[in-house]
Amino acid sequence: MEPILDVRDLKAHFFTRRGVVKAVNGMSFRLHAGETLGIVGESGSGKSVSQMSLLRLLPSPPLKIVGGEAFFRGKDLLRASDAELRAIRGDRISVIFQEPMTSLNPYLRIGAQVVEPLLVHRKMTRAEAWHEAEAALDRVGIPATRNALDAYPHEFSGGMRQRVMIAMALTTRPEVLIADEPTTALDVTVQAQILALLKDIQRETGMAIVLITHDLGVVAGLADRVLVMYGGRVFEEGSAEQVFYASRHPYTMGLLRSTPRLDVDTEVLPSIAGVPPDLARVGEGCPFFERCPVRLPQCSLFPAAREFGSGHVGYCHWKGEGSPWEVPARFVSKG
């Protein structure tokens, strides 16, 4: 089946006074209709920049796409005209932004912002758009929708603003939804409701989802495939089951090891020592080199892809079996 979105060797760099920051340094992936792709990794790994740069949602300069292609239904987004991209952005591809307080216009009422995509892309009358906006707010669990549409963003809590962002993104029933930390400001109960809503709409419309998150639990429950990013590069890709239960990259193993577990008694949560690299000074080698417990001399060059079967791919010179991370004796399994 042909992918709805096909990204090939995307390179998005920031040109700054202190040097070139290689935020995304060669990212490739395919997204099919009805599929959910989870993108995980530490802050600064290039998750959000990779997706925002596809739609030119970041200021240029300093951002510049220095390489790659990104085909959406056969149209290369990176070379599309401004008019072509405006017709796609917010309609066929929608975005749930990470921080709703800075994404919503503080000078406009909620209603004016929710109906705008419907007026621009769906050519609805204002009465039709207002009715659809009420239904959209109701779907994401906002009570008294008519009053909510008359409110300003500052009158809502962080969680309510996040739900407004989700409602706005879903009003046009997009073919692709880029969800950047969509449940960060929500409590666990509302988070479950929103994820269930995304699944329901996906089943109804065949919408594809790119889910950017730090929450591995959300990825495990929603994603079909997972990309693990670090230092602007993809380190591992596979189905959720492959990445969670048969991971082959030391970084992926370190992330999973640092996730709290209910079946393990612990005094100190394991972590990956060190800090993410300065992407203005990263070379041609593996950016995880300084923090890796099994680094090798050949890591001075970034490794080629290694196939582990059935679409499971890793980028690492290490070929050992088992986990490269030593588990301290104080971690005692309950099972």
Give the tens place of pLDDT for each residue, 220-259: 888 999 999 999 999 999 999 999 998 989 999 999 888 8
Rounded distance between C-alpha atoms, residue 271 and residue 281, angstroms = 24
Rounded distance between C-alpha atoms, residue 269 and residue 277, angstroms = 22
**Identity at 155, one-letter amino acid code:** E
Residue corresponding to tokens 């949602």: 57
Average pLDDT of every residue of the chain: 88
Residue 211, classified by CB atoms within 10 Å of its CB into exposed (0-12), middle (13-18) or buried (19+), is buried
Q: What is the pLDDT of residue 329?
A: 36
Query: What is the full DSSP assignment across 148-184?
Result: HHTS-GGGS-HHHHHHHHHHHHHTT--SEEEEESTTT
Least Cα distance to 35 among 5, 10, 58 occurs for 5
Residues 2-35: tens digit of each pLDDT: 899 999 999 999 999 889 999 999 999 999 999 9
pLDDT confidence of 112, banded at 50, 70, 90? very high
Residue 167 pLDDT greater than 60, yes or no: yes
CB 315 within 8 A of CB 233: yes
pTM of the predicted model as reported, rounded to 2 decimal places = 0.90
**Identity at 39, one-letter amino acid code:** I
Q: What is the pLDDT of residue 283?
A: 85
Least Cα distance to 65 among 92, 16, 25 occurs for 25
Rounded distance between C-alpha atoms, residue 313 and residue 219, angstroms = 18
Residue corresponding to tokens 């417990």: 293
Partners of 38 in beta bridges: 211, 226
**Identity at 285, one-letter amino acid code:** G
Task: Read off φ and ψ for residue 217, nearest 5 degrees.
Answer: -65, -40
Rounded distance between C-alpha atoms, residue 245 and residue 238, angstroms = 11
Structure tokens at 253: 């193993």
Rounded distance between C-alpha atoms, residue 62 and residue 69, angstroms = 20
Sign of the alpha-carbon torsion through 156, 158, 164, 167: negative
